[in-house]
Amino acid sequence: MKRPDSAARRRNDRRGRRAETIAAWFLRAKGYHIVARRVRTPAGEIDIVARQRDSLVFVEVKARRTLDSAIFALHPAALRRIEAASRVLAPRFGAGCTTTRIDAVLVRPWGWPVHMVAIWRERM
């Protein structure tokens, strides 16, 4: 697969940041507290770290034209990287939380975001 040029990379980065902002507002409206965004670890990056009551939630955001393409973008290798990053971050953000999980928010043009809860079973 060909690497995107710098203009395409910037465009994709803007699209991703916009989708993460939409996802964060959507989660806030559902009662989540956003703890951090775009957190990098040696294991990978977490788009959004949020809390809801006693749960620590690591959220992957996917922006695609259709829901099907967004779902297919959640491939197992990427989810394993998110799981590894969540293990690194859980002690940092999880004080007082009894559960952790990995969710996804799918963002598409002209549609409401879709929140998928517990998309990956963590082995913590």
> Residues 77-86: pLDDT tens digits?
888 999 999 9
Whether 13 is covered by a domain: the verdict is yes
Supply the range of the domain harboring residue 90. Answer: 6-120
Q: Does pLDDT of 123 surpass 60?
A: no
Whether 69 is covered by a domain: the verdict is yes
Whether 49 is covered by a domain: the verdict is yes
**pLDDT score, position 8:** 84
Write the CA distances from 79 to 30, 41, 97, integer angstroms: 23, 14, 21
Averaged pLDDT score across all residues of the chain: 90
> Residues 76-115: pLDDT tens digits?
888 899 999 999 999 998 888 888 999 999 999 998 999 9
The one-letter amino acid at 40: R
Contact 24, 37 (CB under 8 A): yes
In this structure, how many other beta carbons lie within 10 angstroms of the beta carbon of residue 1? 3
Whether 1 is covered by a domain: the verdict is no
> Which residue in 56, 43, 39, 47 sits closest to 15, CA to CA?
47
The CATH number of residue 39's host domain is 3.40.1350.10
Whether 91 is covered by a domain: the verdict is yes
**pLDDT score, position 9:** 86
User: Number of folded domains in the chain?
Assistant: 1
